[in-house]
Amino acid sequence: MLRNTLRMTVSLMLLLSLAAGAEKYRAGRPDIGNEVVIAKGDIPTPTQYQPIIAVYMKTMGVQVAAIEAQLITLQHALNAGNWQAAQQAYIQAHYDYETIRAVVVVFGHADRVINPHASYFLEQERDPKFIGFHRVEYALFSTNDKSDALAATQALLHNVQDLKQRVAVETLPIAKLVQSADDGIELILETKLGGDENRYSRSDLADIAANLQGARGIVDGLAPFLSPEIVTSLNTQFDALDSVMANYRSAQGQYFRYEQLSRRDKHKLYAQLTQLAQTLSGLRAALKIDVYYKYRNEP
């Protein structure tokens, strides 16, 4: 009898302890053990990297403002009946977005409302949840529907302006910025190299260039903290990719349609991008940026 009572008491104490631990976890309060506090949330950015984050957030703000400006230009072009100018404004706006897209993903659901594809939804282009850049693209390059293009652009502009406000007041940890350089290259490998990003405008080559620009911008900011060997290797790889992409850019700076990418250059880009992604994936280790962070429990 006494033994059973003791078992029940121990079990109850254990359950209460687990419940308290779970409550602390949900509330964001750290657990303490062995003089170490395990923090919940993002890894704090070490002091030496904080200026890089500040500069990047300003750059990001400039890019979001550029997207906003291009979307307003798009609206004006549509209202003036200049369809070609509206299409070009779309391509430029999406280019500006792709330079920062890998980082935008960090900002909650922003990318999901700004850049979803029709294939994400059961009813595809007919689905009312199909909004954002590609809804505008669909109206401009597929259905040629002015009223739909104007409505979709206005909705997109609203979400871009929301992102603009968030970028102005928020920040991001250094670990996620470093990861974003690699993620930008993965975006090319996963969709754009196969022509699957801009399915109606066929402007994936422009977006490949944008992702490369975005990744290189992050690397340039990190360069003072990297070894000369790593910096030289990365610059050589970026230069090789830029050399291939230059063959598909007009004298006016506009990129050709995806279909003009030769099979040989597509294979070359795939090999070079794969190598670059592998190099970028090692940056966090090279910079000694931890994935998990422990705080000492100081009195």
Q: Could you tell me how many residues make up the chain?
A: 299
Lookup result for tokens 């992604």: 277
- CA–CA separation, 46 and 259 (whole Å): 45
Question: What is the arithmetic mean of pLDDT over 169-198?
Answer: 95
What is the three-state SS of the chain?
CHHHHHHHHHHHHHHHHHHHHHHHHHHCCCEEECCEEECCCCCCCCHHHHHHHHHHHHHHHHHHHHHHHHHHHHHHHHHCCCHHHHHHHHHHHHHHHHCCHHHHCCCCCHHHHHCCCHHHCCCHHHCCCCCCHHHHHHHHHHHCCHHHHHHHHHHHHHHHHHHHHHHHHCCCCHHHHHHHHHHHHHHHHHCHHHCCCCCCCCCHHHHHHHHHHHHHHHHHHHHHHCCHHHHHHHHHHHHHHHHHHHHHECCCCCECCHHHCCHHHHHHHHHHHHHHHHHHCCHHHHCCCCCCCEEECCC
Region for 144 from its dihedrals, namely left if φ exceeds 0, alpha if ψ lies in -120 to 50, beta otherwise? left
25 pLDDT exceeds 50?
A: no
Instruction: Calculate the average pLDDT of the chain.
Output: 87
Amino acid 299: pLDDT = 42
Mean pLDDT lowest for which of 99-103, 168-172, 259-263? 168-172
Residues 6 or more apart whose Cβ sits within 8 Å of residue 155: 131, 132, 135
Question: What is the arithmetic mean of pLDDT over 37-59?
Answer: 77
Residues of the chain with pLDDT > 70: what percent? 82
Amino acid 39: pLDDT = 38
- Tell me the one-letter amino acid at 120: Y
159-162 contacts at long range (C-beta below 8 A, 24 or more positions apart): 159/110, 159/113, 159/114, 159/131, 159/132, 160/64, 160/67, 160/68, 160/71, 160/114, 161/68, 162/110
Question: What is the arithmetic mean of pLDDT over 240-247?
Answer: 98
What are the tens digits of pLDDT across the range 119-134? Answer: 999 999 999 999 999 9
pLDDT bracket for residue 176 (50, 70, 90): very high
Amino acid 42: pLDDT = 56
64 pLDDT exceeds 70?
A: yes
Question: What is the arithmetic mean of pLDDT over 236-254?
Answer: 97
81 pLDDT exceeds 90?
A: yes
Beta bridge partners, 294, equal: 38
pLDDT bracket for residue 291 (50, 70, 90): low
pTM of model > 0.85:
no
